[in-house]
Amino acid sequence: MKLFFVAGEASGDARGAELMQALQVIAPDLVFLGAGGPRMRALARGPFLDWADEAVVGLWDVLKKYGYFRRTFAELLEEIRATRPDALILIDYPGFNLRLARAVRARFPATKIIYYISPQVWAWHRSRIPKMARFIDLMLCIFPFEESLYASSGLKAKFVGHPMLDTLGDKRIEGARDQHLVALLPGSRSREVQRNFPAMLAAAQTLQARRPWLRFEASAASPALAEEMRAELARAGAAENFCAIHVGTAHQLMQRAIVGMVCSGTATLEAAFFGLPMVILYKVAWLTWTVGRRLVEVEFLGMPNILAGSEIVREFLQDAAEPDAIAAEVLRLVDDADAREAMQRELASVIAKLGEPGAGHRAAAAVAEQLGLKVA
């Protein structure tokens, strides 16, 4: 049996590889092909496009790379036509993958279509869910409220738990938090860093003026992003040692700092897992914000707040991401141990809603059941 996987960025590559490995345990003879990143490519046994570095954020970035995505879309459709896989398994990346699912259903109706890491259409466009039921056979959800939401619209869905519980479980470190340390986590993409890090630095400068004993540390997702952040540090007129910048230390920093400024996205849920008292920031291009705010159907942007159903973590979005306001909320948390502990209790309650570790194995079992695979 041939399974055609498509994942569009580094996190999707990781989730896809976990799912492939779990499926190999169930059915060792499965053939994997498709598109993703290096971890998935290492497990493939057929044609595989490595494109996980092509992820984009925002409408403007998508428009700039429209030609590339259009060519890749056509290339993948041709590969599916040539290889005729038994199933198409899509990992996250909804802007591309939902269109691909629709096209595959129209051209190759016998191909089973399974979606893992369900797209957050409940936040942006709930009216699309009944339409998705026409071209997706099974939706694998990582948030508990998604299963009933999809199922009520006629789309077969299963909550398998959040894969973060597996990836972060063995990354806990011992030791008390540094009472003088504030974490800056501006995102894992260049655009996010360009738009969020300046506001974080300006807030940090205000904080140090009010509490000179505070220190600041940032984590970059790559050496290239670390250089961008150091350049921004220089543009802000800050001394090189004002904010230490390290590569790949986000999870340790989330556990060492007393408070964090965190870019909205996966990092907010990771910070919640590690119990980091925080504020949430997010700034995007004007066009993306203007279009997006007309479509959004949820009250909050940060996933901890969405899961809690209330703003347990203050959000500073777009024009509201003003350094003095950010600094005031960070200072409140720095000065008030009771406030930090209350937020940590709320964050722990949020994480408890995500279920138990083993999401990849439960997802593989659901895929196997959908495809009628015999367990080895």
pLDDT digits (tens, 9 = 90+) for 200-255: 999 999 999 999 999 999 999 999 999 999 999 999 999 889 999 999 999 999 99
The answer to whether 224 and 230 have CB atoms below 8 angstroms apart is: no
Q: Are residues 312 and 367 in the same domain?
A: no
Share of the chain above pLDDT 90, in %: 76
pLDDT higher at 326 or 321 = 326
Question: What's the rounded mean pLDDT across residues 32-43?
Answer: 94
Report the CATH number at residue 30. 3.40.50.2000
Instruction: Kindly report the pTM of this predicted structure.
Output: 0.86
Q: Give the pLDDT band of residue 376 (cuts 50, 70, 90).
A: low
Say what the pLDDT of residue 51 is: 76
Q: Give the pLDDT band of residue 53 (cuts 50, 70, 90).
A: low
Q: Are residues 46 and 86 in the same domain?
A: yes
**pLDDT over threshold 50, residue 59:** no
pLDDT higher at 223 or 290 = 223
Q: The tokens 């540390």 sit on which residue?
A: 217
Question: What's the rounded mean pLDDT across residues 100-126?
Answer: 89
Q: Are residues 203 and 152 in the same domain?
A: no
Q: Are residues 124 and 191 in the same domain?
A: no
Say what the pLDDT of residue 300 is: 85
Q: Are residues 188 and 307 in the same domain?
A: yes
Work out the mean pLDDT of the chain and round it to a whole number. Answer: 90
Range of the domain at 155: 2-163+358-371
Structure tokens at 181: 């340390």
Q: Give the pLDDT band of residue 56 (cuts 50, 70, 90).
A: very low
Whether residue 340 is contained in a domain is answered as yes
Q: Are residues 212 and 148 in the same domain?
A: no
The answer to whether 204 and 216 have CB atoms below 8 angstroms apart is: yes
Question: What's the rounded mean pLDDT across residues 83-102?
Answer: 94
**pLDDT over threshold 70, residue 57:** no
